[in-house]
Amino acid sequence: MARKLPPVDIVIVGMGWAGGIMAKELGPTGLKIVVLERGGPRTTQDDFNIPQIRDDLRFQQRNELMMDVAKDTLTVRNNPSEEALPMRRLGSFLPGEGVGGSGVHWSGHNWRWADQDLKIRSNYEQRYGKKYIPDDMNLKDWGISYAELEPYYEKFEYTAGISGKAGNLNGKIQKGGNPFEGARKKDYPLPPLTAALATNMFTKASNELGFHAFPRPTSQMSKPFTNIDGQQLGQCQYCGYCEKFGCESNAKGSPHITVIPVALKNENVDLRTFSWVQKVLLDSTGKKATGVLYVNVLTGEEIEQPADLVILSGFQLNNVHLLLLSGIGKPYDPKTREGLVGANYCYQAGGGRTGAIQLFFDDRSFNPFMAAGGLGAVVDDFHYNQDFDRAKAGGYIGGATIAAGGSNARPINYHPVPPGTPQWGSEWKREVAKWYQGSVVVNGTGSVMPHPDNCLTLDPTYKNRFGQPLLRMTFDFHENDFKVMSHAVDMSAKIAKAMNPKMMFNNFSKAGWTSVPYQSTHNTGGAMMGSDPRTSVVNKYLQSWDVHNVFVTGAAVFPHNSSYNPTGPVGAMAFWAADAIKNRYLKNPGLLV
Amino acid sequence: MPDPKMRRRDVLLGAGVVGASALPIAAPPAVAQPAAPAATPAKGAAPAAGPAPAGYTFLKPSEQAFVEAMVDHMIPADELTPSGTDVGLAIFIDRACAGSWGKGDRLYLQGPWKQGSANQGYQLPLTPAELYQRGIAGSNAYCRKTWGKSFDRLAAADKETFLKDLAAGKIMFAGGIPGREFFTMAYQTVMEGLFSDPIYGGNRNMVGWRMVGFPGVGANNAENIKKYNDGTRFTVEPLGIADFS
Ligand SMILES: Cc1cc2nc3c(=O)[nH]c(=O)nc-3n(C[C@H](O)[C@H](O)[C@H](O)COP(=O)(O)OP(=O)(O)OC[C@H]3O[C@@H](n4cnc5c(N)ncnc54)[C@H](O)[C@@H]3O)c2cc1C
C-alpha cells in the first residue's frame, strides 16, 4: 500500500518548460502546489561547469542529460502490422530527465505557430477545396486562434529570451525578418545572433532568387539579458556545445535559470525531485482525479499525493503515457481507428537524415565550430507563405522551412566527406581533413500530417522498471510527408546551387522512419486539443474533456506537426492555460467550455 | 619471417604457431621487476606520483591484438596522425568497455529478444563490452576459416576485405550474431577514440582535433565569429578538459 500524504491543492507532474511556467504562474495564488519531477536537481554551477560540460563523449554520445531508457523506454514499429520492439538505446529523439527537462539541452529555435497551423483544415478547405485533403488525414483546426495566443507568445519570448528580427510588426512587414510570420505586437527581446559566413552566403543566395531569408529566432542571448521576471542571462559565446548540452554562461533560455527559480521563491511551491509519477488516481466515477501515485526513486517507496487539480507537464510522450496508464479518455486503436488518446501522433521530417544538401567549398574556411544551437538563417517561403500554391508544388498539405547554419562541428559526429569516400584509412583522413572547414548544409525541415496508422498505445509485452507497460510508438512517414520533403529538397538544391559550391550532394530518400540516428525531439500529438469532446482529448484551455480537474500541457496537445519547432507554442499555451486556471478554473472548478 | 614489431603478448599467445592448444601454459611475463631504490626517501616525504599509466584493464590478450590491428588498419600512421594504437584508440576502447557504457548503462536490456527491422535499432541481449568480446571472437573465427589466421595476422588487403564485408553486413558470426552489429559499434568507438576529449585515453596530443582544426573545449567565440566570417581559417592550439583542470 502506498503511503498517503496530506492533500494539496495542485500537483504538477514534471519540471521542464511547461511545468516551470505553470509553477511560476500559479505560485502567487498561495495555494499549496507540489511539483513532482522524476529526475534530479540541476544548477549551472555544478552541472554545466567548464570544462566538464564541454564533453562530447559524455553528453552527445552517451546522452547523460537525457532520459535513461534502461528505466523507461518505448517500443517502436513502422506500422500496426509489425511487432513493436523496445527502443533499447536513445536515438531518434532525446527527451530530458531532471529539473529543467529537455529545456536545459534544447537548441532554442523559437517560432510562433499562427493560424496557418491553428486553423489548418479551414485554410485548406477554403483555398484548395474539401477534396484536396485526403480522406484518411485527420486534419483538424485546433480550436484556438493566433489572436488569442499572441500575448502569450510574447510572454514566452520575453521569459526565455529570444534573439531574432521581427518580420511583421503590427501588420507592417519588416525588411530582413520573416514576412510570413503572424503579426506581432513587439519585436523580439534581443537582436539576432552574429551571422557566420555560411549564413550570410545562404541569405544572399536565397534573396537573389527572390526568397526571403531571415535570421533564425532562437534562445541564445545575442547580448546579456534580463527577463520579465528579473532573471539575468549571459551573452552567447558561440562555443558549439549547445544542443544536447547545458550552458555554462546561462546564455541559453532554460527553465532552470528562468521560470523555475522564480516559481520556487513562492514558499507554497514544493519541488520534489526523484519523484516518478506512475499514474493519475481517479475517484469511483472515473470523472474526477483525486491525486497522483508516485515512486520516490531513491528508496522505491510508493506514495499517494492527493490533490484537487493535476497538471500533466511531462514531455509529450510522458503525458500521453500517463493518460493511457491512468485510464483518462478513450485509448486510440489503430485497427478500428476509434478512440482519441494516442491518436494523431506526428513527428518531423528532415533533421539532417533526409532532405539535406551537403555543399563543399575548397576556397574558404567556415570555422563551423563557432556555432550556437539556433545560429543560422531560414527561408519560410514554402511553409508559412499563404500565397505559395501547394497544388502546383506536388499537391501537399503543410510545408518545409529551409535553413543553413549549424549548431556545432564537434568532430565525433561532424566530419563531412563527399559520398564515395572510404570509411577509414589514410584516404578517409585526408578527405576529412580537407573538407572539415569547407562544408555547409542546406536542409529542409518538413511538417508531418496525421495518418491513421501513426499513434501511441500501450505495449502488450514490454515493461518499464516499475512493471508498467511501455508506451508503444507506431510511426512512419507517408505520401504527404514525402511530397513536402521532395519539394523542399528541390528548393534547397536551388539555393545551394546559387551559393556556388565546388560540389554538392543530396541525401533525399523515401526511406521509412528509423528510431536510430538523432533527428529531432519534436514529437507531437496523442492528446489533441479541439473544440469538440468527440474529436479531441483536451479543450482550448488544455483541460481534459473527460476529467475536468486534469490539464495536459506540451506538444501532446498538437493535432498535427508543423515544420516549426514546438516549444514556442508549448510555452505560450502553458501561460495561456495557467491564466485560465488562475482566473477562471480555481474560482469555479468545472469545464471551462 | 619474424615480425620486428612483434610484441611480448604475441609470444605469450603463440602468434603464428598453429595449434595454440598445444602450447604450454604461459609462464609469467618476463618483465624484470626493478628492485626498490636503495635510498629510502627522506622521512615524511611520500613517493612522487608519476603520470597516469596506460595499459589494458579489460581486453584479453587476443582481444588486445584484434583491437590494435583494427585501429591501426583504420587509422594508419601517415602525414596526418600517428597509428591508431599510438593515438590511444586501443586504450580508449579498453576503457570504454571497462566502464559504465561497456557494462550497459542507458541500455534497455529486458527481454523478450527478437531481431526486428533495422529501423527498430539494436536488439541483442548483449552489453557493448559483451558484444565487443563476442564480435572479436566471431571475427577471428571467420578470419581463420577464410584465411587461416586471426584478424591481426592478416595481410592488409585481407583486413580490408574483412572489414568491408563486415561493414556491408555480409558476415554472420557462428552463433548468430550479425557481424554488422559488431562493426557499427566498433566503428563508433574508433570515431569516439579519435575525436573525443583526450582525457578518455584516445585522441592523444589531440591529434584528431589537430587533423581537422577543431579548437576543443575552450571556445569563447563571441568576438571571433565577427572577425572570421570572411573565409579566413581560425587556427588555435586546441585545449582539452585536462588543460582546464
Ligand atoms: C537536443 C534537443 C534539441 C531541441 N531543440 C529544440 C529547438 O530548437 N526548438 C524547440 O522548439 N524545441 C526543441 N527541443 C524540444 C524542447 O526541448 C521541448 O519541446 C520542450 O522542452 C518541451 O517542454 P515540456 O515542458 O513539454 O517538456 P520537458 O521540458 O521535456 O519537461 C518534462 C519534464 O517532465 C519530467 N517527467 C516526465 N515524466 C514524468 C513522470 N512520470 N513523473 C515525474 N516527472 C516526469 C521529465 O523528467 C522532464 O523534466 C529540443 C529537444 C532536444 C532534446
Q: Residue A105: inside a domain, yes or no?
A: yes
Q: Which amino acid is at B87?
A: V
> pLDDT tens per residue, chain B (245 residues)?
334 444 444 434 433 333 333 344 445 555 566 666 555 555 667 878 877 677 999 999 999 999 999 999 999 999 999 999 999 999 999 999 999 999 999 999 999 999 999 999 999 999 999 999 999 999 999 999 999 999 999 999 999 999 999 999 999 998 899 999 999 999 999 999 999 999 999 999 999 999 999 999 988 899 999 999 999 999 999 999 999 98
Q: Is the peptide bond before A51 cis (omega within 30 degrees of 0)?
A: yes
| 3-class state of residue B197 by DSSP | coil
**For the segment A376-431, what is each residue's pLDDT rounded down to a tens digit?**
999 999 999 999 999 999 999 999 999 998 899 999 999 999 999 999 999 999 99
Q: Residue B184: inside a domain, yes or no?
A: yes
Q: How many domains does chain B have?
A: 1
Say which residues have a Cβ less than 8 Å from residue A303's Cβ, sequence separation at least 6: A2, A3, A4, A5, A275, A293, A294, A295, A296
Q: Residue B17: inside a domain, yes or no?
A: no
* Selected catalytic residue, list A451, A478, A522, A548: A522
Q: Residue B8: inside a domain, yes or no?
A: no
What are the grid coordinates assigned to A407, written together?
549548431
Q: Residue A593: inside a domain, yes or no?
A: no
DSSP track, A218-257: BSB-SS-EE-TTS-EE-----BS--TTS--TTS-B--GGG
Q: Which pLDDT belongs to residue A37?
A: 98
Q: Residue B18: inside a domain, yes or no?
A: no
Q: Which pLDDT belongs to residue B31?
A: 59
| 3-class state of residue A521 by DSSP | coil
CB-CB contact of A370 with A193 (8 Å)? no
Q: Residue A384: inside a domain, yes or no?
A: yes
CB pair distance less than 8 Å for B114 and A462: no
Average pLDDT over residues A71-80: 98
Report the residue among A17, A71, A93, A106 best suited for mutation to probe ligand 1: largest number of ligand atoms under 8 A from its CB: A106
Q: Residue B38: inside a domain, yes or no?
A: no
Q: At A317, which CATH number?
A: 3.50.50.60
Closest CB from B80, B217, B231 relative to A197: B231
Q: Residue B34: inside a domain, yes or no?
A: no
How far does the centroid of ligand 1 lie from the alpha carbon of residue B192, in Å? Answer: 27
**For the segment A312-350, what is each residue's pLDDT rounded down to a tens digit?**
999 999 999 999 999 999 999 999 999 999 999 999 998
- C-alpha to C-alpha distance for A318 and A127, rounded to whole angstroms: 37
Q: How many domains does chain A have?
A: 1
What ipTM was predicted for this assembly? 0.96
CB pair distance less than 8 Å for A237 and B200: no
Q: Residue A441: inside a domain, yes or no?
A: yes
**For the segment A454-489, what is each residue's pLDDT rounded down to a tens digit?**
999 999 999 999 999 999 999 999 999 999 999 999
**For the segment A271-288, what is each residue's pLDDT rounded down to a tens digit?**
999 999 999 999 999 999
Residues near ligand 1 with C-beta < 6 Å?
A 13-19, 36-39, 94-98, 101-103, 105-109, 243-244, 276-277, 313-315, 318, 521, 553-555, 565-567, 570
Q: Residue A446: inside a domain, yes or no?
A: yes
Residue B69's domain comprises 48-106+122-236
Q: Residue B2: inside a domain, yes or no?
A: no
> Is residue A510 exposed (0-12), middle (13-18) or buried (19+ Cβ within 10 Å)?
exposed
Q: Which pLDDT belongs to residue B8?
A: 40
**For the segment A436-461, what is each residue's pLDDT rounded down to a tens digit?**
999 999 999 999 999 999 999 999 99
CB pair distance less than 8 Å for A432 and B212: yes
Q: Is the peptide bond before A151 cis (omega within 30 degrees of 0)?
A: no
Tally the residues of chain A: 593
> Is residue A132 exposed (0-12), middle (13-18) or buried (19+ Cβ within 10 Å)?
middle
Q: Which pLDDT belongs to residue B11?
A: 39
Mean pLDDT, chain A, rounded, equals 97
Q: Which pLDDT belongs to residue A353?
A: 77
Residues of chain B found within 8 Å of residue A430, distances taken between Cβ atoms: 80
Q: What percent of chain A has pLDDT over 90?
A: 98
Q: Select from A110, A112, A369 the least CA-distant residue to A221.
A: A110
End-to-end CA distance of chain B: 48
Say which residues have a Cβ less than 8 Å from residue A41's Cβ, sequence separation at least 6: A98, A99, A273
Q: Which pLDDT belongs to residue B32?
A: 60
Residue A424's domain comprises 3-585
Q: Select from B178, B85, B192, B191 the least CA-distant residue to B135.
A: B178
CB-CB contact of A190 with A224 (8 Å)? no
Q: Residue B114: inside a domain, yes or no?
A: no
What are the grid coordinates assigned to A439, written together?
562544408
The chain A residue lying nearest B244, using CA atoms, is A51
CB pair distance less than 8 Å for A424 and B163: yes
Q: Which pLDDT belongs to residue B17?
A: 38
CB-CB contact of A493 with A504 (8 Å)? yes
